[in-house]
Structure 1
C-alpha cells in the first residue's frame, strides 16, 4: 500500500542509449563509444545530478551480463520496489524496440521498461527469436505491436511509444495515418514520450493523448546529451513501482514538471527541403531555394494535421523550456568543468545557482545567458530538417 506522505522530488531521464559494451562491442551504432554503462552511471549521478535513469539497451546480452556481474560484485543491488540501486542512483532497465507490423504505415520506436534484471532477461530471450540481431539497439521486431504489449505486461513491464512526433520511426511521424488505435492496444500504454521538437501545449491538441502522461527524455547518443530533457517526479522513493505510480498518478505520485528543449530548438520542428534543408511550406509545390519537391515534414506541421478543434482538457504539469548548458553560447567544455567544480551538478547550475555565484566563475555574458535560459527569455533560431535550432548570440537583456 503506497503512502501519500513523505513524497520527495526526483529528477529522471528515462531514454539513454549505450554506445558500446565494456568489451568494446557496439550496442547503439549511432551512439558514442564513450557511452558505456559505467560512464553513463557516473555522468548521470555525479555530473548531471539525476536520481533515476532509464537505460534502454539493457536487452543486449552483453549488457545483461555486465549488470549481473556488477550485482555479483555488490555494485548493483535490487530494490524491493523494482529497479537497481547503483550507489544511490536508480537504474531502471529498458529496451528500445522497432515495430513495423501490417497495421503500421512505417517503423515505430517504442520503449519498454522492466522491474528487474531477470524480467529484462526474459524479454531479451523472447525478442531473440523475433529479431535478426539481439545484440544491437533499436532493432526491428518481427511480430505485432499488440503481441509485444501483451508480453511486456505479462512480465509486469511498462510500455511507452517513443518520441511520438519526430518524422522518422515514430507513432505520428509516419507510423499511423490518424490514430494510435490503428497500431496499439490503447489500454496497454503507460505513457507517451514527446520528443525534442514538441511540448505539452502542442501534444495536448490531440484528444486521444489526454489519457496518457507525457514524458520528456534526452534520447542521449552521447554522454553530454544525458539530461538534455528530463522530468521531476514526486515519489516516496526512487523505484520502478513508484515510477509506475507516477505515470498513472496514483497515491500522490506524479510528474511535477517536464523539462525539455523549446521545440524551436528541436531538429524537426519546421518542415524542410529534403535536398537543401531550406524551410519548406507544405502547401508549396516546390522548394523556393532549389526547386526540389521532396521535403521532411516538421513536427509542427504534422501536429496541425492531426489535432482537433479544441485542446484536450486535462490538468498537466508545467512544461518548462529548459536550455541545456551545452546550448549556451560561449560555454565550452572547460567552462562547464569549472562550473561543475564550483557548484556540483548540472541540475544545481541550471536551477539554483544565483547570478552572484555564477559571476565568480564565468563571464557576465555567460551568467546572463544561463539565467535567461532559466527564465525562458533567450531568442532562438528555429530548427528543422535534422538541424538543431540555435540560441541567438545577440540576445539582449
Structure 2
C-alpha cells in the first residue's frame, strides 16, 4: 500500500478575544486551496481535526468547542481604503462542514496583529511606539473593522494589564470598531437591520407556542428572546444548558424558526447546514450570580444578563459578533435587549455573561423611519500561542 506523506503549511495558532483559531496567509495555502471550494474546506477540516464522531478533535488543532474550532485566511487587500482581507471559517466539530456565513468578532482582534507581524501591512505604517490602525475588510459579510493595535519597539505588543472576562491572563488592549455593522438582509422587510421590519416579532415555535423575539442583523444575525419566556433566569452557566439535550433541541428549534423568519433560509431543514448563523440568545433583567470562574457578578454592575448559543451550545462567554448585536439592539428603544436593560436611549451597555461582564458601545439613529447604526465599539485582546507549520496528510484535500 502506497503512503502519502504529510505536508506542512505555514500557520499561526492565535487567541483573539475569547476564541482561538489557526491563521493562514492566503498565498501560503496549497494552490488548490487558495480559492473557495471543496479542497479548501477539506484542508481546513483536517487541520482542525473534523469531522470527529468522538467530538474531541484529538487528531487536529481544534479544542472541541465552537470557540476553538476556527480558521482564518488573510491576504493583502485590493479594496481601496483597506489593509487586509479577512476570511473566517467556522469548522463543525462532528460533521464534514465549514460554515462561511458569518464573522468571528473575537478572532477579529487577532487579525491586525497577525497582519502587522506577517508583512501584510506596509512597514512605514507601523510606528516604533504607539498605535497602528489596521483597516480590515471582513470578506464573509462585506463589512469594515478598524483595529487599534498597540506597538512597542516596532513590534506588536501582546502583553499588558487589560483583563477580559473569559480569558485567564491579562494582555494588551486592542480596540475594535465595527463600522456600519447592520446587514441589510433579504427578509420580509429588507433594507433594514430588522429584516421583518419590526423591533419585536411574534415568533411561532413548535412545542413552545408564540414567543416575543427581536430579530436583528447587526454584527451577526441574532434571535433574541426573553429568558423568562423559555423557563430561564438569564444567569445560567454552561452546564445548565449544554448538559440538557431537550434544552439544546429547543434552542435549535427557536434558531431555525428565527432563521426562516429573517429570510436566511427558505425551509427550516436548511438550518442544519447553516450552523454559524443566526445566533440565538436570551436576555433578562440584571441579577446577582456567580460567574464560571467563581467571580461574583452583582446586579448593580450590569445593565442586563445575556446568554448566547454558538454552534448548538451555550457559549462560555460571549461571541464578539453577538456582542455587537447586543450593543446595537440595546441602543434602540423597544427591542427586547433594550427593554431588559431598562429601556430608553443609550450609547453603551454592560451585560453579564457566563464568564463575567462585557461593555460594548453602539451609535444608532433613525433615518426616514429606519434604524441605522454607524459603528459598534469594544475592547478585546489577542496573543500568538504558537507559530510555525501545521502538518496534514497529503491526501487530505
TM-score when normalising by structure 2: 0.26
Higher helix share: 1
Which protein, 1 or 2, shows the higher relative CO under an 8 Å CA cutoff with sep ≥ 6?
2
Higher strand share: 2
